[in-house]
Structure 1
């Protein structure tokens, strides 16, 4: 049995979210410049901080999804997740992963994959509408949890 075809490859999904994460970092840093350097407004931090937080979480979830599907080592998964912390580091990590063949044009997970995590990815690919809903709920839940915990110290 083969994995369903999807308009979004692992490479495209990861590249899109790595780029979005870097862009939201730039927006947040711009907001911080306006707040702390020019002391003109806090609006940039309030708006772009939330946008960055949501994209940060989406990037993390996509990284786990792609890592499981593309069979990354735990070390590479940790590197991919850690790349979201320093500003703009998702971009060089994406290039690194692409150059090393870690980002395929096809999904590898199948319903008969040996790993339960890969079977779960296969299920998500087979049920794309549900997967998007699950992804949105996961991002919202994790964002809500982050808001309860508070901003990073």
Structure 2
């Protein structure tokens, strides 16, 4: 899958999962229907959030966005519905592409070398990334909702 298609899909998925989480919060706090909607919506959103962040870093390294733009992309995942405007902005600037640069070009530096390994072995890398995202996700689920981390 191209960086453009992958990034667009995850930006949309992040927005959809924000909607699920917000609907779950409305059902819990406004309609007093219990926390099932928050647990389901929050879990799905958390997983997609982590995947979006991982792909933002990978695409940013591959396309040489720079640290500031990568951080802005990561911040867009924290603000509800901001991933689509961010994706459209980087697309308009020509910062997304139909192919992965680091599959063919030599890497410059350790971050590009790591990204090149990921891109040149997509199946193995996808499995490793899914396992890592799953482990981070499981750790966060074990910690509980962010509102309870410091109480």
Which of structure 1's runs of 4+ aligned residues deviate more than 3 A? none
CA RMSD after TM alignment: 1.3
Match of 2:86 among 61, 70, 93: 93
Separation of aligned partners in 2, 1:25 and 1:49: 8
Aligned to 1:3: none
How far off is 1:30 after superposition?
0.5
How far off is 1:95 after superposition?
0.5
Aligned residues: 146
Aligned to 2:4: 11
How far off is 1:147 after superposition?
2.4
5+ residue gaps, structure 1, are 1-7
5+ residue gaps, structure 2, are none
Scaled by the length of structure 1, the TM-score of the pair is 0.90
State which drifts further: 109-118 or 123-132: 109-118
Structure with the largest fraction of helix: 2
> Aligned to 1:102, what secondary structure does the other structure show?
coil
Aligned to 2:29: 36
Aligned to 2:15: 22
State which drifts further: 125-134 or 47-56: 125-134
Structure 1 residues 10, 121: CA separation in 2 closer, same or farther (over 3 Å shift)? same
Scaled by the length of structure 2, the TM-score of the pair is 0.91
